[in-house]
Amino acid sequence: MSELASLSYCPDLLSYTRRNTREVRVGNVGLGGNNPIRVQSMITSDTRDTLACVAEVLGLAEAGCEIVRITAQTKVYAANLENIAREVRATGCQVPLVADIHFKPDAAMEAAKWVEKVRVNPGNYVDKKKFEIREYTDDQYEAELERIREQFTPLVHLCKDLGRAMRIGTNHGSLSDRIMNRYGDTPLGMCESALEFARIAREHDYHNFVFSMKASNPKVMIEAYRLLVARLDSEGPDWNYPIHLGVTEAGDGEDGRIKSAIGIGSLLADGIGDTIRVSLTEDAIHEIPVARALVGLHRSESGWGLQPQPIREASCLPALAPSYNPFTYERRSSSSLTIQGHDLGADKTVRVFTTQDRWNALAHKMANMGDFKPEIIYEKSNVIEIDPRNLDTISKLNDRQEPCLITVADGIGLSPVHGFRMLAFQADPRHPILLKDTLDPPSGDTDFNKALLSASQNIGSLLCDGIGDAILIRGETAPGQSLRLAYNILQAAGTRIFKTDYVACPSCGRTLFNLQSTTQKIREATGHLKGVRIAVMGCIVNGPGEMADANFGYVGGAPGKINLYVGKTAVKFNIPQAEAVERLIDLIKEHDKWIEAPAQAPANA
């Protein structure tokens, strides 16, 4: 990856500029170019059930969904897209429809006749994933590329002839064995897999496509999208294709929203992204307000896309270089400090701060708060507040002999992401940094969902860049909720693990059981297993590959039957669904990952 460090994915890490792309047309909706960031979702009904699919499409459209995706797992399913599209159009609804394709090129060819866009996954469109370890010679590698070309070219021609759009959508964990053996299960492998398909499309002068690089781990997702954009820029100015953003299998509730905001929001903050889908293990209708709110964080009063901030209005400010490699995670190096009895900085735990008034409000219940207590009081921490544009202040800071805790000052007109990046770029790395979700704390009651998305984007983005040794949430004014949000952001960013982590895919027409009720049942049984990662997948498509780095997996294998996994290996097959949660617990016990739930301990924050 060393040669990639010289690449750039963003023209300015210290101010907002939306990435310029060509326009791609999906029916009557434009992606990229001067178009707004589009919101999309996916229905959960069986694609063979025309009436149910039509009703769900219309409901999503009414809720503000601008593009609707439908699974088409075989040619038979894809053929019914004709009926779905006809009935949707008969109501006067013109929302573009997208066919979601995995494994079946013939299904893609059928679907392209009836819908405005086709999504293909390069990891399984032609290649079969067997998790084989083998060495590919250059000749063998090229032979497989030629096989892909033969299978993929007919779809390219059909989409070009019919005016259809395409999404070349790579998913972490579902890369082909060929890519895995040459590049590993990495952001680089994800990019190479997509670029192979894009080059074939371009050979035939087909350009009406977008890219995606989805992963359930926000760090991996952010790195993959950044690397993709950098690679596209390096290929040339005519590789300016739009980008579809999403954190796949984000889960449900607050956790799913936080993961989505960290991944999607952090990229939107850097001007990357032309359409987004928030993947929640909930009814699809609930994804739309979350997606619209995330987009709204990046909309100015005058239109779509915030204007660049005047962060360098002082002409004496030098050009600043990043203090980290944006394509691979490494925590910023700092010195260790002890504040109010807690170590922070260096490789120590990222600490949770609160304000004095919130500490006082929680004091009577502190003994029963378990792992979710506030740790350090802001006003008593001796933190130094800095305007990172003030070079004299920065110089005095760096001349100090002893490390000190630093943060960005309030009310200076900078966004948290840009302000803390600027501080990290200039401050000597020995000084630990306290992150704040907002530099303009509210004075009254706040909307929790809005505070959750904003805090997750701002703090989560910085944590994924390796910046931050402590965090303070002020955008949510309720003391208990602000603490829960702080700990959940640390968990979702993979920074501080204090509870079970779940990878749960959203429902779709392929799902073989009720994902929402099953996920909740698994949470209730396993939510006390600190540091264990459990994947809950509705079908084999989102199964062993896309579980990525989960410890255990619960995967739909057939109607009413569950397969259980350890890592990416299936170890128990065709378990009746009624028994599957207990069998999952037995499997966790077999691998010495089980502990009994402590008395009075909450399963989740």
The answer as to whether 330 is a domain residue is: no
The residue out of 492, 523, 554 marking a domain boundary is: 492
| Residue linked to tokens 């809005």 | 450
Domain total in the chain? 3
pLDDT in tens, 552-593: 888 887 888 888 888 878 888 889 988 889 999 999 999 988
- Strand ranges inside 60-182, DSSP E: 67-71, 97-101, 117-120, 165-171
Residue 188 has pLDDT above 90, yes or no: yes
Q: Which of 314, 223, 235, 233 is nearest to 262 (CA)?
A: 223
C-beta separation of 354 from 481 below 8 A: no
Range of the domain at 366: 337-492
**Helix (DSSP H) and strand (DSSP E) numbers for the chain:** 18, 25
Do 570 and 421 share a domain, yes or no? no
Pairing of strands 23-26, 29-32: antiparallel
Q: Which of 42, 153, 146, 44 is nearest to 108 (CA)?
A: 153
Do 269 and 205 share a domain, yes or no? yes
pLDDT of residue 540: 62
The residue out of 262, 286, 304 marking a domain boundary is: 304
Q: Which of 157, 176, 172, 297 is nearest to 223 (CA)?
A: 172
The answer as to whether 317 is a domain residue is: no
Q: How does DSSP assign 335-349, residue by residue?
A: --EEETTEEESTTSP
Do 479 and 536 share a domain, yes or no? no
Q: What is the DSSP letter of 175?
A: -
Exposed/middle/buried for 132, CB within 10 Å: 0-12, 13-18, 19+? exposed
What is the CA angle 241-14-464, rounded to 5?
Answer: 75
0.85 cut: is pTM over it?
A: yes
Dist. CA 316–CA 360, nearest whole Å: 44
Q: Where is pLDDT greater, at 525 or 199?
A: 199
φ and ψ of 490, to 5 deg: -60, -40
The answer as to whether 605 is a domain residue is: no
Dist. CA 512–CA 3, nearest whole Å: 44
Do 162 and 235 share a domain, yes or no? yes
Give residue 205's region: left, alpha or beta (phi > 0; psi -120 to 50). left
The residue out of 433, 462, 492 marking a domain boundary is: 492
Residue 30 is which amino acid?
Answer: G
pLDDT in tens, 463-499: 999 999 999 999 999 999 999 999 999 999 999 988 8
State the CB neighbour count (10 A cutoff) for residue 127.
Answer: 22
Do 88 and 230 share a domain, yes or no? yes
Task: Please list, in sequence order, all residues whose beta carbon lies within 8 angstroms of the beta carbon of residue 296, skipping any fewer than 6 positions away.
Answer: none
Q: Which of 328, 253, 283 is nearest to 499 (CA)?
A: 253
Pairing of strands 342-344, 275-276: unpaired
- Mean pLDDT, the chain, rounded, equals 89
The answer as to whether 298 is a domain residue is: yes
Do 255 and 370 share a domain, yes or no? no
Residue 604 has pLDDT above 70, yes or no: no
3-state secondary structure (DSSP) of residue 358: helix
pLDDT in tens, 101-133: 988 999 999 999 999 999 999 988 886 655 565
Do 292 and 251 share a domain, yes or no? yes
Q: Where is pLDDT greater, at 84 or 550?
A: 84
Task: Please list, in sequence order, all residues whose beta carbon lies within 8 angstroms of the beta carbon of residue 293, skipping any fewer than 6 positions away.
Answer: 449, 450, 453
The answer as to whether 598 is a domain residue is: no
| Domain CATH for 554 | 3.30.413.10
Residue 568 is which amino acid?
Answer: K
Do 54 and 103 share a domain, yes or no? yes
What is the CA angle 243-113-228, rounded to 5?
Answer: 15
Residue 142 is which amino acid?
Answer: E
pLDDT in tens, 295-346: 998 865 334 444 444 444 444 456 677 888 899 999 999 999 999 999 999 9
Dist. CA 480–CA 362, nearest whole Å: 7
Q: How does DSSP assign 492-527, residue by residue?
A: HTTSS--S-EEEEPPP-TT--S-HHHHHHHHHHHHT
pLDDT in tens, 156-177: 999 999 999 999 999 887 888 8
Q: Which of 309, 307, 317, 467 is nearest to 389 (CA)?
A: 317
| Residue linked to tokens 């350090």 | 376
C-beta separation of 565 from 553 below 8 A: yes
Do 191 and 58 share a domain, yes or no? yes
Q: Burial letters for 295-306: b for 16+ Cβ neighbours within 10 Å, e otherwise? A: bebbeeeeeebb
Dist. CA 231–CA 358, nearest whole Å: 46
Dist. CA 61–CA 57, nearest whole Å: 6
The answer as to whether 311 is a domain residue is: no
pLDDT of residue 545: 57
C-beta separation of 152 from 105 below 8 A: yes
Q: pLDDT-derived band of residue 379, with 50, 70 and 90 as boundaries?
A: very high
pLDDT of residue 303: 40
How is residue 330 written in tokens? 């490494």
Q: Which of 363, 422, 354, 369 is nearest to 394 (CA)?
A: 422
Do 238 and 114 share a domain, yes or no? yes
Dist. CA 127–CA 105, nearest whole Å: 11
The answer as to whether 75 is a domain residue is: yes
pLDDT of residue 131: 55
pLDDT of residue 137: 85
φ and ψ of 533, to 5 deg: -110, 120
The answer as to whether 316 is a domain residue is: no
Do 562 and 479 share a domain, yes or no? no
φ and ψ of 432, to 5 deg: -65, 155
The kind and range of the H/E element at 393 are helix 391-399
| Domain CATH for 182 | 3.20.20.20
Do 512 and 397 share a domain, yes or no? no
